[in-house]
Structure 1
Amino acid sequence: MKRHSSRLRGFLPMAILCVAGSHAGVATATVADTVPRIAWSPCPAGFVDPVWQPVWGQRLECGIMTAPLAYDDSAEGDIAVALIRIKAGEPSERQGALFFNFGGPGASPVNFLPDTAYLWSSASKDDPLDGDKRRLADRYDLVAVIPRGLAGGTWYGCQPVAPTGIDGNDLSIYRNNAAWRIFVDDAAARASACADRLMPYLGTLDHVHDMERARMALGETRMNFFGVSYGARVGALYAAAYPMRTGRMVLDSSMNFTATFEEQFDETPRERHEQFMLRALIPAVSDVRYGLGTDPDAVLRHFMRMPGKARQAWGPLISKPATLSAALVMASRAVSDDEVTVDFMRQHIDSRPFSIHTAVNRYIRTAAVSLIDALEADAPAEIIRRPVYYAVICGDTPWHRTLPALRERARGWATSFPTSTGESIDAGLVCHHWEPSSRRQPRLPGREDAPSFLMVHAAFDSATPLALARKAFVASPRASMVVADGMAGHGIFGASATPCVEHSVGHFLLTGELPAERETHCAYEPRKPQQHSGRADEPDLDERRKVLLQRLRHS
């Protein structure tokens, strides 16, 4: 495979300080003999969104530390690891540090932590819903270790690969043998383009050891941690490696951290399709006002006949009957991908009503406008860096499926779960061609001796479905779980006014007290808009919450 040199990005010109001893594997991780150090300084220009510098001032800092490239001594050399923190708002009340991982893999906390801290710090201590968030921001440094390979530390990247000429990678749409061959060759090219000496040393376990190194450098006696999505895997692996150092740990919208990545990808399409059926299709055919008929199979066939461009753009956004109706009606007016354009759809949106019922027509039209906007929306900023993403999902745990097995699975999903995207098969293809790693982490079974921790989840989470998170919960006898019934979302703490979620998480992080019951449910309550101060130098709270939630959905 073609190799290329590693590059340094971000603020590596900062002083790189001392190196600590190595850690062994999960079962025998030990404390380093030498306390490591972090070089903290103001974040370099352009590294963090400039909106935050006047908000945080000297409370916002970026750090750099050196770490062994391989904690198990399988390779020589060091790697630069970056950090970001927002220091406690009330230094006299400081009680420690709270570490974060916002998901991915391959997502940088630089895109999440400043927003999170701003929302928490803007709350009133007297607010019955958000007061605990303010107390957390006042009493704790909010810290994140930036995963290896991302900007700020030692950079890991891939060589460019020629485009395939196919718009997207959804194998439920592009089902012929010629397209399959293109997808296979493209996956092989992408895997080969990422070959680098750093590749085996970017895994979750390496990141966990970096977190422990940062904990020691900060002088914290315990690792208090908040992880979202893949961040739950990070937290679970830390607890397995360092059970005596694990403090208060919250896992929000958790993936099934007891499974391999291949198993997680295998099980997600079914869950996503069932959510589509339960939340959008069945309600639509049960209500004649949506005008889709009463046969769910017929509606599903209609969905599958949508032009590929519309289906790829709109399919992941369909979570309500109004959105499904809008997508099907608009797609029926386009006979090819060439007509799935903003101008064409806007010309036809007023050609006839969506429903003869005024209220439902209004709901569907609103949904249609949102779908049209999605066609012209700029691609979201790269929240997940694909080189690091693949290095982790392909390198952490084994992938077993052969190319014929993946082909058969793609055919089966195209028929059984047509609302699933091509993400799972694409991941399988890339990881099939990925250079095998001898440093894969062990499977994480539920551990009876693991520390207590809290899981929170929305009832409907298409990114990390509740049914899969529940497998990790059942396997973790000392875990507690809080579920927001009726809520759809990913990264839910602070996203709503659901009392059992907001109160349980804040209270646990402040006191260590878990809910009285092992599993708690309460009804979802939407969050009301917040009053803006009107000051031009203060970001709008609702807008920043919206930005944060959008990024979490893509993490």
Structure 2
Amino acid sequence: MRTGFETAGRGRRAAAALLAVVVAFTAATVSGCDEGGASSPAPRAQERRATNPPAGVPSVFTGQRLNWAVCPAPSGAQGKGEAPGEDYECATMKAPLDYARPGGDTIDVALIRKRATGPEGGRIGSLLLNFGGPGVSGVVTLPAVADDYAVLGEAYDLVSFDPRGVGGTAPVLCGQDTYEGASACGGRSGRLLPYVGTSSTARDMELMRFLLGDERLHYFGVSYGTRLGGVYAHLFPRNVGRMVLEAPVDPVLDDFRSEIARARAVQRAFDRFARHCAKTYDDCPTGSGPEQARQRVTALLDRLKEKPAPAEGGEDLDDSLAAHGIANHLDRGRDGWERLVEALREVMERGRGDALLAEAYDHDPDSRARLAGAHAGVTGDNGTSALVAISCADSDLRPSFDEFDVMERQVAAASPVFGETWANALYLCYDWPFDGESAAADVRAEGAPPVLVVANTGDPTTPYEGARRMAAELGERVGVLLTVRDEGHGSFPHNRCAERAVHLYLVHGTTPEAGAVCP
């Protein structure tokens, strides 16, 4: 029989382990392009006004104007830091807390914009971006990764935002300085918790579309952002413009089956790394191939569970953080493989955990890093609390202890290396004070224009099979799948073929042919 103390501890450990399964964003840098350079943005005298306001939303919201001004430095809930500079402007949008009762409480939604740098006549509109998570601040992330979208930023105003519960938008707080668990979330932010799910944020996006002056929503969503984009397309198919869903989550599977699929995907990625390591290095730390690699790394994790490896700063690397660090290297694709070899050598041969610990924490803005921080008891911003709150608002998975034990064994069996750690995420919403919305996301979008779905065959975080289902669920004439034969979580902009396809679609409206494949 488990005591209440043990129950609370297990819930907190589950929050840390969710970093193995929550979708995330991999940042890269746009290399030199031949599409032309950027020029300084030309000011526009007056904002455009769209003519199709969101249905059922009172005029007190649709009649507001966004007052764009110089961005302040990020708040504590956004992680602090320096202001993004003169290229960016910020605004606050007033929205109903509950769209079913729009006359009730309201929230402020934090937005950021970088105006289009191309000629005024070539501007298409605004491109709304979500970089993954959930729990990632778009206000903080856009300035950090805007160079990746430089070509798109000539034709579009690049716009991002903090989703509900995150950073500057009705931030959920589940502790003073750390994530303390479900009861702390309910005690501090209970009023917000039923309204931070993806469907509510999708409705915020519809209000944004109108206030930004666009008749249709142009959107680029990565990882979790594909769920958000898919839900928007389902709710407002006639208002979808050009939409890219990259590294998509699986809209069909419930959380339990998703965990099994993700565990299998990261294990397959690890096995491919192990083959590469064996062929490339005479002294490969994982041995002669996948089978020996599994044995050596599972033995390493067992040792770290009993005796964590020391690292700089006074923190130790335990088995959970080591699994997260390895997975984050795999998320980076082949670029992460060489560094993973060195990180494994360091901990296996020298007994130091510095490199894997740094990767577990520093793969920002990946949600894995946020929850690795929660594992250590330090979060910095409210990203961990937001991640848990949004995940539990979306998911109806509330297993009992007995059900969890059965599920845990099945997820653990899906991956010898990562399964045990990944399985703890199933317990994330135990004792959550509100029910979740659904078992899976409804993304059916009949009547929407073509939506471009981009996916790596070797994605260790959002398995390729989920991309195929995303394209199919969007609809026969809607979902257009571009298959990228590559490793890592996400392909834009570092895969040049995928980058060109995205540019052609978003700038010129040209979709790839059915069955298109990038080498």
TM-score with structure 2 setting the length: 0.71
Match for residue 533 of structure 1?
none
Instruction: Measure, in 2, the Cα distance between the counterparts of 1:442 and 1:377.
Output: 30
Structure 1 position 427 matched with structure 2 position 454: no
Q: Secondary structure at the match of 1:117?
A: helix
Match for residue 105 of structure 2?
77
Q: How does 1:90-489 map to 2 (within 5 A)?
A: 90=118, 92-93=120-121, 94-121=123-150, 133=151, 136-160=152-176, 196-277=190-271, 279-284=272-277, 289-290=282-283, 294=288, 296-306=290-300, 307-308=303-304, 309=317, 311=319, 312-313=321-322, 314-316=325-327, 319=330, 330-333=346-349, 339-341=351-353, 374=359, 385-420=383-418, 424-437=422-435, 443-444=441-442, 446-476=444-474, 477=476, 478-485=478-485, 487-489=486-488
1:433 Cα deviation from its structure 2 partner? 1.8
State which of 34, 41, 62 in structure 1 corresponds to 2:69. Answer: 41
8 Å CA contact 1:458–1:484 kept in 2: the answer is yes
Instruction: Measure, in 1, the Cα distance between the counterparts of 2:487 and 2:428.
Output: 30
Instruction: Measure, in 2, the Cα distance between the counterparts of 1:371 and 1:75.
Output: 50
Deviations 1:380-403 (A, max 9, x none): 676871121111111113115322
CA 1:383/1:107 → structure 2, altered by over 3 Å: closer, same or farther? farther
8 Å CA contact 2:328–2:360 kept in 1: the answer is no
Deviations 1:319-370 (A, max 9, x none): 4776676566554446xxxx5355xxxxxxxxxxxxxxxxxxxxxxxxxxx6
CA 1:435/1:46 → structure 2, altered by over 3 Å: closer, same or farther? closer
CA 1:269/1:75 → structure 2, altered by over 3 Å: closer, same or farther? farther
Match for residue 53 of structure 1?
85
Instruction: Measure, in 1, the Cα distance between the counterparts of 2:161 and 2:147.
Output: 19
1:109 Cα deviation from its structure 2 partner? 0.8
Deviations 1:76-106 (A, max 9, x none): 2111111111112246223311111111111
1:439 Cα deviation from its structure 2 partner? 5.4
Instruction: Measure, in 2, the Cα distance between the counterparts of 1:65 and 1:195.
Output: 20
8 Å CA contact 1:187–1:426 kept in 2: the answer is no
Q: What letter corresponds to residue 65 of structure 1 in structure 2?
A: M
1:438 Cα deviation from its structure 2 partner? 6.9
Deviations 1:42-92 (A, max 9, x none): 1123458647415x1xxx211112111100129821111111111122462
Higher relative contact order (CA 8 A, sep 6+): 2
8 Å CA contact 2:245–2:454 kept in 1: the answer is yes
Which of the pair has more CA radius of gyration?
1
Instruction: Measure, in 2, the Cα distance between the counterparts of 1:157 and 1:244.
Output: 36
Deviations 1:196-231 (A, max 9, x none): 111111111111111111111122111011100011
8 Å CA contact 1:69–1:75 kept in 2: the answer is no
Match for residue 509 of structure 2?
512
8 Å CA contact 2:248–2:453 kept in 1: the answer is yes
8 Å CA contact 1:36–1:216 kept in 2: the answer is no
TM-score with structure 1 setting the length: 0.67
Match for residue 542 of structure 1?
none
8 Å CA contact 2:411–2:419 kept in 1: the answer is no
Instruction: Measure, in 2, the Cα distance between the counterparts of 1:414 and 1:440.
Output: 24
CA 1:236/1:420 → structure 2, altered by over 3 Å: closer, same or farther? same
Aligned length: 422
Instruction: Measure, in 1, the Cα distance between the counterparts of 2:201 and 2:420.
Output: 28
CA 1:217/1:286 → structure 2, altered by over 3 Å: closer, same or farther? closer
Instruction: Measure, in 1, the Cα distance between the counterparts of 2:234 and 2:244.
Output: 15
CA 1:305/1:194 → structure 2, altered by over 3 Å: closer, same or farther? farther
Deviations 1:298-318 (A, max 9, x none): 442222111323653253256
Q: What letter corresponds to residue 508 of structure 1 in structure 2?
A: Y
1:266 Cα deviation from its structure 2 partner? 3.7
**How large is the RMSD of aligned CA atoms in angstroms?**
3.5
8 Å CA contact 1:239–1:451 kept in 2: the answer is no
1:237 Cα deviation from its structure 2 partner? 0.8
1:157 Cα deviation from its structure 2 partner? 0.9
1:418 Cα deviation from its structure 2 partner? 2.7
CA 1:296/1:264 → structure 2, altered by over 3 Å: closer, same or farther? closer
Instruction: Measure, in 2, the Cα distance between the counterparts of 1:449 and 1:378.
Output: 38
In structure 1, runs of 5+ residues without a counterpart are 1-22, 24-28, 122-132, 164-185, 343-369, 524-555
CA 1:265/1:441 → structure 2, altered by over 3 Å: closer, same or farther? closer
Identity %, equivalent residues: 27
Q: What letter corresponds to residue 268 of structure 2 in structure 1?
A: E
CA 1:150/1:192 → structure 2, altered by over 3 Å: closer, same or farther? closer
Match for residue 27 of structure 2?
none
Name which of structure 1's ranges 381-390 and 473-482 shifts more when overlaid on structure 2: 381-390
Instruction: Measure, in 1, the Cα distance between the counterparts of 2:91 and 2:127.
Output: 16
